Amino acid sequence: MKNIDNDNSSIPNELKRAQRVEKKTKQVLDTKIERRGFLKMAAAAAAATLPAKEAPAFFDFFKKHYKEMTPAEKKVAIAKLEKKLEKKLGLDINVTNPDPIDNAHFVYGLDLSKCNGSRKCVTACVKENNQGRDPAIQYIKVLEMDIGTMNLEKGDQYYNGIVPKKGKFYMPIQCHQCDNPPCVKSCPVEATWKEKDGIVVIDSEWCIGCRYCMAACPYEARRFNYSEPKIPKKEVNTTQGYLSNRVKPKGVVEKCHFCLHRTREGKLPACQEACPTGARKFGNLNDPKSDVAIIFKKKRIFVLKEELNTSPRFFYYFG
């Protein structure tokens, strides 16, 4: 009996849908048909016929690119993402999207003579940026190398135990936020781009997971989510940036973004706050009194793989 009842109730709905489709098609026939306009109308007609449950996925599919969104549309997209993440994680989540600061020129300095390879920055980064724990995704890779050499291929990133070890030095590598980024050029769908303040970001809604950027990056700074990231519920960071530390879906690329949800609000990146030796220096190069500006003047600095002309914003020095 129940089944028959259900069937009866669904008939008027279908009728309504059919009527809606008719209306839309009449509208289409009445107006001048251009190719673009026709496609839009067809999309609208399809939307009318879709059941309500599948509608959000449909709107996700026809969403605009982040750069083309107006501020109002961004707000809508953020609200939608918030709902989606709350449903997925079962937590109260606050999605933020701070705008780039106009006068800032972010750079990052790392003192190789002070770094002791304790990987405190790595764990702080993993916690802050909601990276998957199994399989582990870490934006920062710390290489252990013999003193006197600079062969990155012979660097060991799987060391353990008491650090610093005798005769070794440690070199953390993360995204260099290049001014001439090869990863951005290689992206076929423009899901990654360079922001005004110099940070290279990824829109993980737009990423198709082709991993061209990973192949293009000379610093191996990008990571791929081979599976749905597993994060213990207690350790999820609930303030998540739209372009930065939101919990990623399966099959997208992610990387270091100088903690843009923190730095654009004036805070320092999580890795610098966690560093026990003070080897990491983040700052604004436009401010002549900032420590990075003084390091630029006084110390001998170098960047990795200078010959590739990527002009990174991450530099190393010996303090």
Partner 1 sequence: MSKIHMVNLILLFMVPSMPKGNIIAEVKTMPRIKKIKNFPCSKCHKNKKRNFQISLPLNSPHNEIVFNHMPSINSCYQCHSKNNIKGLILRDGRKLSLSNSNQLCWQCHGEIKNDWRTGLHGKETGSWLTTKYRYSCIECHEAHSPRPHSMKAEPSIQRPKFGITKQEH
Please give the helix or strand (H or E) that residue 121 lies within, else none: helix 120-128
225 lies in the site for partner 1, by CB under 8 A? no
Element (H, E) at 173: strand 168-173
x-or-dash string of contact with partner 1, 228-267, rule CB under 8 A = -----------------------------------x--xx
Q: Is residue 70 near partner 1 by the rule CB under 8 A?
A: no
Judged by CB, which is closer to partner 1: 36, or 300? 300
Cα–Cα dist 213/188, whole Å: 9
For partner 1, the closer CB: 104 or 217: 104
Q: Which of 1, 11, 72, 162 binds partner 1 (CB under 8 A)?
A: 162
Total of residues contacting partner 1 (CB under 8 A): 46
Closest approach, Cβ 319 to partner 1, in A, equals: 6
**What letters, b where the CB count within 10 A reaches 16 and e where it falls short, cover 244-283?**
bbbbbeebbbbbbbbbbbbbbeeeebbbbbbbeeebbbbb
The upper half-sphere exposure of residue 76, i.e. CA atoms within 13 Å in the direction of its Cβ, equals: 11
Structure tokens at 241: 């940036």
Contact yes or no for 291/283 (Cβ under 8 A):
yes
Rounded-to-integer distance, Cα 106 and Cα 200, Å: 11
Length of the chain: 319
Which residues in the 260-279 window bind partner 1 by CB under 8 A?
263, 266-268, 272-273, 275-278
Smallest distance from the beta carbon of 294 to partner 1, in angstroms? 5
* Window 88-117: residues binding partner 1 (CB under 8 A): 101-104, 116-117
Identified binder of partner 1 from the candidate list 120, 168, 194, 211, rule CB under 8 A: 120
CA distance 67 to 193: 9
Q: Which stretch binds partner 1 (CB under 8 A): 158-166, 175-183, 200-208, 231-239?
A: 158-166
HSE at residue 3, side-chain half, CA atoms within 13 A, is 0
Give the CA angle between residues 274, 230, 124 to the nearest 5°: 0
- Choosing from 57, 289, 300, 307, the residue that interacts with partner 1 (CB under 8 A) is 289
Under rule CB under 8 A, residue 214 binds partner 1 = no
Which residue's CB is nearer to partner 1, number 129 or number 192? 129
Cβ-based nearer residue to partner 1, 204 or 263: 263
Which letter does DSSP use for residue 112 in this model?
A: T
Amino acid symbol at 273:
E
How far apart are CB 197 and partner 1 at their closest, in Å? 11
Q: Which residues would be at the binding site for partner 1 (CB under 8 A)?
A: 101-104, 116-120, 122-123, 136, 138, 157-164, 263, 266-268, 272-273, 275-278, 281-284, 286-291, 294-295, 298-299, 319
